[in-house]
Amino acid sequence: MTVTDLVPYDDALAAYDPVMGLEVHVELGTKTKMFCGCSTELGADANSQTCPTCLGLPGSLPVVNAVGVESAVKIGLALHCEIAEWCRFARKNYFYPDMPKNFQTSQYDEPIAFDGYLDVQLEDGEVFRVEIERAHMEEDTGKSTHVGGATGRIHGASHSLLDYNRAGIPLIEIVTKPIEGAGERAPEVAKAYVAELRELIKALGVSEARMEMGQMRCDVNLSLRPKGRQEFGTRSETKNVNSLRSVERAARFEIQRHAAVLSSGGTIVQETRHFHEEDGSTTAGRIKDNAEDYRYFPEPDLVPVAPPREWVEELRSTLPELPRVRRNRLREEWGVSEHDMQSILNAGAIGPIVATIEAGADAAAARKWWMGELARNANETGRPLEGLPITPAQVARVAELVKGGDLNDKLARQVIEGVLAGEGDPDTVVEKRGLKVVSDEGALTTAVEEAIAGNPAIADKIRGGKVAAAGALVGAVMKATRGQADAARVKELILAQLGVEG
């Protein structure tokens, strides 16, 4: 592999102004494919979810999936787009084995949604508006496995194997207008845009939008122009950038690479590039000469889609609160900083915290458990928070037990550990493990007396006014009760015994 020349990021930005275009493909979560009734369930046996329509066999006819169209309209509305009064599908003709029909059914000059925007919030709270060009309906391709080459790459493979289960799964392609004026924050804007779009898609309930599963994929178009110049430079198109972090890295890398080429007097070739997760670099793929001639024409086997206005308005009225607006509302309700809210978002904890509060916990407790003990466990076991075997209601119950003085934090952690280990709900774990705070004043008093008797020097210090020293005695009592005492109550008893005001 050739080494790509890069210039330092700051130098690149001192001389050039980046312009980006982002194309995001979202696989919808419909039960069936876009144009036939084959299941979209993941993980099925190869070629077990195909039919004459998605295999492109002669005589088969497509019929569009109503939920696919509805999802496209919802996405369009949430992106503040206009919804076409009338639009058609088109055939995009090309020969490639991933598409058995030799064309992809897509939309060309009549997208179902167009001219919108999405406001994205950067980590420091700054809001950046990304204009949306269009969102259109199309279908996914089959999955290729390349055999005989090095590490499954297409280059040098002797042949390829095709599984068409994915061919025909509904896709919505969302294309931004050129993103200008982001300057040095361009990579950050790209990442924030894809992150916000993902939240939006999830909130609409039209897809789980899991990037690691390929349910959401991003192409990053980027060009540089000398500062002060109006017209755009030549762009490169980095394909299939499939994580938020990669979107940011790919944009950053391309800025540095373009700047190196341009500042040494070279010209950027208009081409597609491949992104490499290992080192964040991109390498050249296919050169885009104008040989790409898809010969789009209106799909004769499908009738036009003309969403009635009443239906569009009905869908508009069912849209959920936009994720950014909701986050800001929750942030204020919970009384946390922008930065903390960002951490909560990144941890995927917003949903669980909201559900825990709804189940009766107060915001601080819900946040504390999900961002503390549970986030740690999720991290260690490589699971998403929502995949942990504990429900928000159970977390709320733990919080309730702590609030009522039945558990202290240490015991609560053990209860959570028990629930996660499948020992039952919180009350069962408390019962089975015998994790009640010792509230028997007689037993506590005895333990306190023993602690004082066993540590006369410390007791003297406390009597002498060093209240802080009480911590050591509290520790001794906690140890003696195997952590099952209420530390605050123990301290009160110690100070009372020693005749000191707390």
Partner 1 sequence: MPGITREEVAHLARLARLELKAEELEHFAGQLDDILGAVARVSEVAGQDVPPTSHPLPMTNVMRADEVRPSLTPEQALSGAPAQEQQRFKVPQILGED
Cα–Cα distance between 352 and 366 in angstroms, integer?
Answer: 8
Contact code string over 136-165 relative to partner 1, x by CB under 8 A: --------xxxx------xxxxxxxxxxx-
Long-range CB contacts (within 8 A, 24+) of 325-330: 326/203, 327/121, 330/354
- Span of 88-96, 222-230, 247-255, 394-402 interacting with partner 1 by CB under 8 A: 88-96
The Cα-based distances of 275 to 258, 310, 345, 398, 421 in angstroms read: 15, 44, 26, 45, 40
Strands 90-93 and 297-298, by their bridges, are antiparallel
Query: CB of residue 318 vs partner 1: minimum separation in angstroms?
Result: 17
**Residue 172-211 contact track with partner 1, rule CB under 8 A, x = bound:** ----------------------------------------
Q: Is 64 in the site for partner 1 (CB under 8 A)?
A: yes
Q: Which is nearer to partner 1, 116 or 168 (CB)?
A: 168
Q: Which stretch binds partner 1 (CB under 8 A): 113-121, 227-235, 297-305, 415-423?
A: 297-305
Secondary structure in 3-state letters for 259-278:
HHHHHCCCCCCCEEEEEECC
CB of 374 to partner 1, least distance (A): 35
Is 69 one of the binding residues for partner 1 (CB under 8 A)? yes
Q: What angle do CA 492, 497, 502 make, to 5 degrees?
A: 40
- Residue 198 tokens read as 């993902």
Instruction: Give the max Cα distance, the chain.
Output: 97
Residue 49 binds to partner 1 (criterion: CB under 8 A):
yes
Member of 68, 187, 323, 392 binding partner 1 (CB under 8 A): 68
Considering only CA atoms, which of 224, 220, 219, 218 is closest in space to residue 256? 224
If one asks whether residue 290 binds partner 1 (CB under 8 A), the answer comes out as: no
| CA 73, 105, 114, 183 torsion-angle sign | positive
Q: Which two tokens stand for residue 209?
A: 């939008």
Residue range at the interface with partner 1 (CB under 8 A); choices 5-13, 292-300, 356-364, 450-458: 292-300
Q: Which of 228, 265, 300, 456 binds partner 1 (CB under 8 A)?
A: 300
User: Among 6, 120, 305, 452, which residue sits at the site for partner 1 (rule: CB under 8 A)?
Assistant: 305
User: Restricting to residues 357-386, which ones interact with partner 1 according to CB under 8 A?
Assistant: none
Give Cα separations from 424 to 392, 416, 433 (angstroms): 14, 10, 11
User: Taking the complex as a whole, how short is the minimal distance between the CB of residue 269 and partner 1, in angstroms?
Assistant: 16
Told to check if 52 binds partner 1 by CB under 8 A, we report yes
CB atoms within 10 A of CB 97: 13
* Binding residues for partner 1 (CB under 8 A): 30-32, 36-39, 45-52, 55, 57, 63-69, 86, 88, 93, 95-97, 100, 144-147, 154-164, 293, 295, 298-300, 302-308
